[in-house]
Structure formats: C-alpha cells, structure tokens
Chain A
C-alpha cells in the first residue's frame, strides 16, 4: 500500500512539474499574441453596472455603447446640444417642434424620418412607466423630417428630459429589441450575453463619420478590484469606476493612466425634519460646520472628489458661486449655545435636560458614505454631540418606511442628470417629491420651484435655480459634502478619448487605438 501511495505522489509531482513547464511556455506565447493584436482596431471597455437587456427604452447601455442616440445630448461643458434633431422650437406652452437631421440612417439602412421618430417615442411611453411620467407626451405628429410633440400639460423641461438615454430613437417595429436593437449609433450589436458582455461592430454608414475602431467589447463586472486587475493584465483598455484607494499600481504602470473627472453626482447628509431638534436651523448650521470637507476629500477620496458648495456640480451655470462651508468647530459650538444647548457634567451638549444625540443612517453600496459618517461622528463627539451610526441594507425603503428611526442619513444623488437642476429641486424639496424622505418643506423653495416649473426660458431658469441654491445654503436642509470623481483607468494605446462628467455617450466614432 505504501508503495502505491508513493507512486501516486510521484505521479502528482511529475504532473505538477509538467504543468509548471507548460506555464512558462504559454507565457511567451502570450507575449507574441499581444504584439500581433496591436494591428487590429479593437477595444475592450469594462463597466460596473451589468445590463440584462439591450432594450434602449429600458436600459442606458444602448446609448453608452454607441448603439443608439437621442434627439439632444449634453456636451462636455454640460450644455444641451442638438444631436439627431438639428433644430427645435417651442410653438406654445405644450407644443414642441423638432427638425430631424437629414441623412441619418438606422443600422438596417432605412432612413430616420419623422415617422420613425414618432414610432420610437410611442413605444417608449408605452413600455416604460417612468418615461411616460417624465415626458408627459399627449400626442405626436410626423411630417417629413418634422416631428411635433404635444404634452399633457405645460412642460418647460421637456427638452432636458429628451436627453435621457431611454429617449433613444430606435427602429420600433422589430422583435429583437432586447437582444439586437436597431439604432443610429456608430456601432451595431454583433453578440450579447446578458449580464456579462456585448460585442459591437462598426456601422459603416454612420451619419457623423464611420468609427475608427472595427470592434468594441464591453464587459460588465461589479467588482472594482477585478476591473482594476483586468486593466493591469492588458485584457481591458478602459476600466470604469475604479476605487479611489489602491490606484498606486495603475498610476505607477507607465502604460496606464488614471483619469479623474468631477461627476454630476453629489454626496451629502440629509437632515430629517421630523426630528424636533433638527427643525432648528441653528442646529443644522452647527452640524454643517462640523463637516470637514477638505479632509474628507483628501483622506476618504484620495483627492478624487471636489468639495461641494451646494447641490450641483460647480461647472453647471445654475450651480451658484458660493464657497463651500469651512470646518469650524468653535463657531459650531457657539451656534449650538445660541440654540440653547449647554455642556452637562459629562461634557455632552444638552438642552432642557436632554442631550443632543443623533442617529445617522448609512449604507455600504457606496463605500465612502460610511466613512463620511465616521468622520462626522468623530468631529461631533469633540464638541459633545453624540452620533450613533446605523448601517442599513435597503436604504431607500428604510428612509421612507421608517421615518421615525433616523435623524440624519448619508446619501448620494445625481442632482442634475440631464443638465438642469429642476429635477433635484422637484424630487428632493417638494413635499411630494420621490427623494424627500426627510420631509423638507421650505415655502420659499416650493414657490421658486413652482415658478421654475412654469418657466421655459433658459436664462430665467438659471436665475431661478441660482436663487433656490442660495436659499438652500441658508436653510441647510442638506449638508452637501462633495462631488465624487469618475475614476477611469485608461491604457496608453487608446487615443482621442477622455471620460466626461455625463456618462451617456461612452463609445464614440472618434475613439481609436494604436
């Protein structure tokens, strides 16, 4: 028996050695393969959110992957620009007229005219409840290259809603829209594995000039470490959403670079207005001063974030020109004393025998948010404010369904996803808004928002939004902390491409590889 086992172990050893030899051989093979692949024009991009369907009316990947396009888009300066529609005008409060660009064709070669656009929009409002609610379309008329939309009610931000990826123009009368949508973009779908991978091929008759690349592969992986490893191994050329920590090995690699652009997202603290103590504006202001934005940006984000001075990315014209609030614990303590709080024997802030103790809810889906809560907890503790951190699994439902259980929450939103702040003012401040679990109800902001909702003129809209931002900064219903950056790892061989703040048109006809 011993003899048998010894033989067996010897066999294992031999196999192992053979395997090791095999490894070194194939390593050298890999090297030559990479050299050979330098000649073809293909690119691999890694993205974090998986798509289970390519239906552009349900999933953003259609526009992101360069398969479909929208009538209008926002450019790198976050301004609204014509795209498939080359011109538009508002006829009256509820009527909008668009001229569809001549010479645009679908991937099957058919012409994009008013009728095709009409069919596409009729499909999206039928199939997507959210888009129906957002577009408020009553009827659509098509005449040659002209399309006329009539909305159910005056809808000044109709233009901005058209920027949404779900407003993609597709060939509507097709069966395979979830697997192989027919759009107008620079690339067509060659193959799609739901949740895993899309393979794209160039569309030669693209209206804005055929793409420089022959093929593009987009892979989904929700694990940031794996995305980083894949970029380092040379398997991917572009890796989206890398974590701010652990970029060293990418930065030190001479073939790779890290791009960091401010996003249109804002991380903030939201105060629950049902809490009696937090109804006091002085208390909210004091807590706001305990947020050390500079240190949070440096230490939590490794400087891959911009300090926030209001709800909107400072590049937006409507963001306002205010500076972010300075960290000032002394002033914070003074404000709390003004509000009637005194230190008790244990050194805790107290009013009417009740200590100022707050529960802050946070969640791990964005790993920097719990860290923000911890920094805040430490600073608050220094001036005698007790903060308890609660990690919550399903944060959205928790905030709405258990409104009595939390006082503050670390939260994060795209505050102007389509180049207009009206969205955030409506959802986060109006009492009926879908992102207002803290029941903010400030009459001056409500009035301004109502006025904004009836204003179509862009300049007037900008002025009204700036006014609203000023009131928000005075009332402090939120404490805006930072705009995290979009961190993208890019291989040197990628040319003519940089990531933008808006994450819609990721794959372009211009991008190239060496």
Chain B
C-alpha cells in the first residue's frame, strides 16, 4: 500500500518536472541557436552553388519570420509543439517527427549494444579491482580504466576498424543490416563509457565489503563467494544504476561520435548536420525527444532504486 503511494507520488512529481525541464531546455536551446551567428537562410538558398543576392536572403528571412522578436518565434514553435506538431525541416522539408522517429530505433539499438558491452567490461574488472585491491589484477584494471578514459572514441573506433575489418577481415567497416554491424560501434561506445563505471563499482564494492553486515555474514560462516554475489554486489550495483541514470544524457551524446564514424543511421548523425545548418525545427525536436528520454530513464532508475533499496522503500513509514 505504502509502496504504491510512493510510486504514484514519484511519478506525479516527475511528470511535473518533465514538463518544466522540457520547457526550460527548449527555450535555452532556442535562445542559444538564435544568439550564435547564422541562420538557415543561406543553406536554404544554397548560396554555395546557386545564384542569389543579399536581397533574396532578406526576403526569405522575412518570409520565415526570422526577423520577428525572439519570444514570438519561440512562442509559435511552442504553441505548435504543444499540439504535437514539430514542424518540418527547413532543408529537407520533411516532417521533423518523421525524421527523428525513423532514426530513434537505430540510436536506441546502439545505446543498448553499448550498455551490454559496458556491463561485460565493468562487472569483471570492477570485481577484480575490489577483490585484489592494490595488487596486480587491480593495477591491471586501473590501467585499463585509465587507457579507456584517455582514448578518444573516434580514434578507438578507427583502430578497431583497422584491426577487425582491414587486418582480420572479420567485421564490416560501417553500415547496418546484420548483427556483425553492431559489434564495432557497440564496443567503441562501451569501452569509451566503461572506465568511470569500473572505478565506481570497485570503490563501492570495497566500501560494502568493509561494512558490518558483510563482516557479520562472514562471521556466521556464509561462504565468501555467496557473500560477494548475494550481498556485496547487490549493495553496490545501486550506486552504479544511479550513476547510469545521471549519465544517460552523456551516453546519448557519446553515441553521436560513434554514429558518424560508422555511418550509423541514428539521430546523432542527423543532429550534427542540423546544428551546423541551423535547421531550428530539427534541433528543437531532437532536444524535446532526448529530454523526454533522459527524464523517463531517470524516473525508471528512481523506481528501481526504491525497489533495490529497502531503506528507501520503507524509510518514511517505519522511520
């Protein structure tokens, strides 16, 4: 009963936060795009290869309403967005929602692949680091984390392509279609994200191993392996899950670099182009969707946290 009420309260609060955050986020993005030099007019008129004049540019600027006061421009976007209309791209003329939604699955798929690699790397290295604290396996895990944190992901991606596609001929260089296409982008993403989590898991494990309830369990004669998995790991995973919630935005950002490198048809590839072309409707739509994803993931993490941690779950009622 108390549990349901708590979940309900969290969800309600989060929906309010969601709306507020999206409002602020979209306004700040809009403002930043408008304040940096440039607008899409020159791209729309294709001045790079079409004969146009400054007068044509000015005419188009007027027609698109870029000369209107900023609050009016933002208000118009917001009014339509609230009705579910994200507008059309200035450059391709396609509906923004279609453009983004057709690319969302690829981005989510790659993010999921990256997470999978992340866990495969983080769990063993984090555990080894903690169990062999300050001995050579720990040092090894530390070096791996350091190397992973120092290598830029685009370079790591190039190295992986060189080894696995060119030298060994095992995996495709780029594109999508088969499971093999997932491997290199996921590994690049996973390795780039892993270091922080390896160190975090190690610290948490060491902390938990030294806590009284683990010592008590050991004193009761529970086997060490069982302690490690049943108690220590479970206790420590929570902080990792929390951190994941906080860094999901960063993960979606990291996906962008990987997407460009591997011709991955996700949203990141689209958005880099949209930002440089000042394709406002596309950028605003992207911010909206990413904002919703980040907030929803954080909401789920909070709920998961409540489930995992009995202290929080019963804290209010029993305290």
Give chain A's interface residues, CB within 8 Å of chain B.
1, 4-5, 8-9, 12, 23, 26-27, 30-31, 50, 52-53, 55, 58-59, 127, 129-131, 133-134, 157, 161, 164, 178, 193-197, 219-223, 225-226, 229-230, 232-236, 394, 396-398, 401-402, 413-414, 417-418, 422-423, 426-427, 430, 432-435
Q: Is the CB of A134 within 8 A of B38?
A: no
A394 to B265, alpha carbons, bound, how many Å?
25
Q: Is the CB of A230 within 8 A of B269?
A: no
Q: Is the CB of A434 within 8 A of B45?
A: yes
Q: Is the CB of B169 within 8 A of A127?
A: no
Closest Cβ of chain A to B43, distance in Å, is 9
Q: Name the residue of chain B whose CB is nearest to the CB of A426.
A: B51
Q: Which residues of B contact A235 (CB under 8 A)?
A: 165, 172-174
A76 to B165, alpha carbons, bound, how many Å?
36
Q: Mark B250-289, 1 if CB is under 8 A from A, else 0.
A: 0000000000111111000110010010000000000000
Q: Which residues of A contact B92 (CB under 8 A)?
A: 52-53, 55, 58-59, 178
Q: Which of A1, A219, A222 contacts B228 (CB 8 A)?
A: A1
Closest Cβ of chain B to A233, distance in Å, is 5
Q: Which residues of B contact A26 (CB under 8 A)?
A: 170
Residue B309 CB within 8 A of the other chain: no
- Between-chain CB contacts (< 8 Å), 5 pairs: A27-B168, A130-B46, A130-B50, A220-B263, A434-B53
Residue B158 CB within 8 A of the other chain: yes
Q: Is the CB of B165 within 8 A of A134?
A: no
Closest Cβ of chain A to B3, distance in Å, is 35
A58 to B89, alpha carbons, bound, how many Å?
11
Q: Which residues of B contact A223 (CB under 8 A)?
A: 154, 260-261
Q: Is the CB of A233 within 8 A of B166?
A: yes
Q: Is the CB of A178 within 8 A of B158?
A: no
Closest Cβ of chain B to A39, distance in Å, is 20
Instruction: List B residues 147-195 near A (Cβ within 8 Å).
Output: 154, 158, 161-162, 165-166, 168-170, 172-176
Instruction: List B residues 13-48 near A (Cβ within 8 Å).
Output: 36-39, 42, 44-48
Closest Cβ of chain B to A4, distance in Å, is 4
Q: Name the residue of chain A whose CB is nearest to the CB of B57.
A: A434
Q: Is the CB of B176 within 8 A of A196?
A: yes
A414 to B273, alpha carbons, bound, how many Å?
21
Q: Is the CB of A229 within 8 A of B60?
A: no
Q: Is the CB of A52 within 8 A of B270?
A: yes
Q: Name the residue of chain A whose CB is nearest to the CB of B128.
A: A5
Residue B5 CB within 8 A of the other chain: no
The 10 closest A-B pairs by CB, nearest first: A397-B38, A196-B265, A1-B224, A397-B37, A53-B92, A230-B173, A417-B49, A434-B47, A4-B225, A130-B46
A327 to B174, alpha carbons, bound, how many Å?
44
Closest Cβ of chain A to B269, distance in Å, is 5
Q: Is the CB of A394 within 8 A of B50?
A: no
Q: Is the CB of B42 within 8 A of A229?
A: no
Instruction: List B residues 56-75 near A (Cβ within 8 Å).
Output: 56-57, 60
Q: Is the CB of B48 within 8 A of A129?
A: no
Q: A178-B92, A397-B37, A434-B47 are in contact. Are A233 and B57 (CB under 8 A)?
A: no
Q: Which of B42, B124, B137, B170 contacts A30 (CB 8 A)?
A: B170
Q: Name the residue of chain A whose CB is nearest to the CB of B279.
A: A52
Q: Which residues of B contact A50 (CB under 8 A)?
A: 263, 269, 273
Q: Name the residue of chain A whose CB is nearest to the CB of B161.
A: A229
Q: Is the CB of B170 within 8 A of A164?
A: no
Closest Cβ of chain B to A495, distance in Å, is 24
A31 to B170, alpha carbons, bound, how many Å?
10
Give 14 A-B pairs besides A9-B128, A195-B265, A394-B37 with Cβ atoms closer than 8 angstroms. A5-B128, A9-B137, A27-B169, A194-B265, A194-B270, A225-B158, A233-B165, A233-B166, A396-B38, A397-B38, A413-B48, A423-B50, A434-B56, A434-B57
Q: Which of A220, A226, A423 contacts B161 (CB 8 A)?
A: A226
Q: Is the CB of A4 within 8 A of B224?
A: yes
Residue B230 CB within 8 A of the other chain: no
Most chain A CB within 10 A, of B92, B176, B270, B273, is at B92
